[in-house]
Structure 1
């Protein structure tokens, strides 16, 4: 009886993991066009290697600003999300891409921001969304960030 329960539990676990993997959210690392645009805008920036090769990602959020829909990607340094993060705003219809890299110095209590874009400038609305995503406000109040 115990053996049957263990087998059933094992099958249930495998099925659950398979379903979880099948339902993976869109992420910067899986969106090749957005990833290519991020590489272009970060090419001449002094960013750590993890921003270009690896990172811990969260589910992509969608925000509408004006008549454009943006995908918002969050990526952070593995095992150190609090200290180093990148947020990317990508509009698939126009390939407009803006991002901010945040590095927090815990000892000094300071945060350094590096802004990047393939536009002439980053609009105040896009900057607001990027900063809100860094702080968690976008995750907690997504309906408040459609302009």
Structure 2
């Protein structure tokens, strides 16, 4: 019984401006070029962007972000701008929980389809998206160029919600 009381609770809620520094840290750990506080703050403030943050609530009441997703919706289409999970929190299904929450919100908003781009070499992300029903609809060669080489190819993936 004591174990249940000490188990952290998972909470997914809207991104709060107070989360920005933690989101910058999480994003930087997951991508070759992390986004700055100004970039994330600008997206969070954008009325076309919805952000969800996943928190683990400790028995002591702390709720530090463990991952987040940002989705832009324009003209009836949605695009996953980014999704990232803190390195120490990976492998626990948090990315799936964030995607499912974002997809439920888009479905409630009657958005018919959602797109995303993912590095073709990111096997765990590609597998997650395919398991959620996303299909490849295009490729962008050199999309992930960093000035040190040709850069990786992005898979463009789409999910029909309606």
Common topology (TM > 0.5)? no
TM-score when normalising by structure 2: 0.35
What TM-score, normalized by structure 1, do the two folds share?
0.38
Larger CA Rg, structure 1 vs 2: 1
Name the one with the larger helix percent.
Answer: 1
Larger strand proportion, structure 1 or 2? Answer: 2
